Amino acid sequence: MLALGKLLELTLAGHEPAVKIQLTTEGTRLRWLAEGALEVTPPAARDNGQDLLLSAGIHGNETAPIELLDDLLQAIARSQLQPCARLLFLFGNPAAMRSGARYIEQDINRLFNGQHDQHTGAEALRACDLEHLAANFFSKPERARLHYDLHTAIRASKIEQFALYPFQPDRPRSQRELARLSAAGIEAVLLHNKSSVTFSAYTYTQLGAEAFTLELGKARPFGQNELVNLDLLELHLQALIEGREPEGVTDDLSKLKLFAVAQEVIKHSDAFQLHLPADIENFSELPVGYLLAEDLSDTRWVISEPGTCIIFPNPKVKNGLRAGILIVPAEDVPLS
């Protein structure tokens, strides 16, 4: 196997490879760009015009998707997968990956779309570097652009695998991409209704890619992901890499649950209180009239709409950040 196929091993060891470019026997080029960043280019005769960015490890303790990308890259380096798409593999936060931590000082996935300019530290610099790597990768004109940012969640979820679809005014969501997600085992999609500061929001709004944050189960340490079943997603990604339409893709979206954001719960101060059990699962439904949270100046969040569910509740975030999202079933979604 080509040495550059061991990107995860290099990243966890903090090593820079001596050889930056290698070719497989079939002519696929692997090029090391920076720590945790590897570009894969198929021979021109096989190139199908697809640019596919696959990122994981934006949170360093979310290891199942990191291991999935490692498997795919090693298969390419062994010539078991022969790409027809251009690929960029990114491990987002190498320092946090090495520490087994979500982040070291700051959550990188809150530092995109201009936010890193307002902060200092290694993770702000890394967010800037990731934007540049993505922008350079997606700079070629007249090519299809797709980005999957792979995550696992802090807590358990009633819907195990779901996606978050960024928002851009007057841009309809792609029915084809939603159908692909459904075939890949994604059970639900949260449709954002305002701009965001995540990595997928950056590539979607600034670089014109179809982009999704994929939540794929509960975060566990390396080597302990037996309960995270990514078989369907792996087959899906193998097909995209090899230029095949993934199996099971149809126009029928009836199995895919679509949700819209009803409200974001923002923690304003240290007085913030979230009135939820510590072990509550994502997509838990809350009754109308339920007092969800309180903060200074008599700020209160009370459930007002039937069918409201909570995702990503986290009272330990820093002041000014999101401590949870309230979602409701989406209706009349414009699709292209």
Residues 50 and 151 in one domain: yes
Q: In 35-50, which positions are buried (b, 16+ CB within 10 angstroms) versus exposed (e)?
A: bbbbbbbbeeebbeeb
Amino acid at 308: T
Residues 233 and 272 in one domain: no
Residues 271 and 237 in one domain: no
- Classify residue 254: in a domain, yes or no: no
Write the pLDDT tens digit of every residue in 4-23: 999 999 999 999 999 999 99
Amino acid at 167: F
- Classify residue 278: in a domain, yes or no: yes
83, HSE (Cβ side, Cα atoms, 13 Å): 30
Residues 186 and 272 in one domain: no
- Classify residue 223: in a domain, yes or no: yes
Residues 273 and 213 in one domain: no
pLDDT at 227: 60
- Classify residue 154: in a domain, yes or no: yes
Q: Where are the beta strands (DSSP E) in the chain?
A: 21-23, 29-34, 37-41, 50-56, 86-91, 144-153, 162-165, 188-191, 210-218, 257-266, 273-274, 284-285, 291-295, 299-302, 309-311, 322-329
Identify the active-site residue in 160, 215, 294, 305.
215
Residues 72 and 188 in one domain: yes
CA distance 238 to 179: 17
Q: What percent of the chain has pLDDT over 70?
A: 97
Q: Are 265 and 325 in contact (CB under 8 A)?
A: yes
Q: Are 267 and 323 in contact (CB under 8 A)?
A: yes
Percentages (nearest 5) of helix, strand, coil residues in the chain: 25, 25, 50
Q: Among 66-70, 107-111, 261-265, which is the least confidently predicted range?
A: 261-265
CA distance 218 to 227: 9
pLDDT at 157: 87
Closest residue by Cα to residue 163 from 252, 256, 85, 240: 256
CATH at residue 292: 2.40.50.630
Residues 171 and 277 in one domain: no
Residues 165 and 208 in one domain: yes
Query: Span 209-214, mean pLDDT?
Result: 98
Residues 212 and 272 in one domain: no
Task: For residue 174, count CB atoms less than 10 angstroms from its CB and return exposed for 0-12, middle for 13-18, buried for 19 or more.
Answer: middle
DSSP SS3 for 308: coil
Q: Are 198 and 166 in contact (CB under 8 A)?
A: yes
pLDDT at 80: 95
- Classify residue 251: in a domain, yes or no: no
H-type helices in 151-230, by residue range?
175-183, 199-207
Residues 214 and 318 in one domain: no
Domain residues for the domain of 159 are 3-241
In eight-state DSSP terms, residue 184 is: T
Query: Span 71-95, mean pLDDT?
Result: 97
- Classify residue 318: in a domain, yes or no: yes
- Classify residue 82: in a domain, yes or no: yes
Rounded to whole angstroms, what are the CA distances from 31 to 36, 92, 215, 243, 336? 11, 17, 28, 20, 35
Residues 49 and 112 in one domain: yes
The reported pTM is: 0.92
Using alpha carbons only, give the angle 85, 207, 159 rounded to the nearest 5 degrees: 75
CATH at residue 185: 3.40.630.10
**Catalytic residue check, 285:** no
Count of the separate structural domains present in the chain: 2
Residues 214 and 68 in one domain: yes
pLDDT at 223: 65
Query: Span 112-132, mean pLDDT?
Result: 91
For residue 40, list its beta bridge partners. Answer: 30, 87
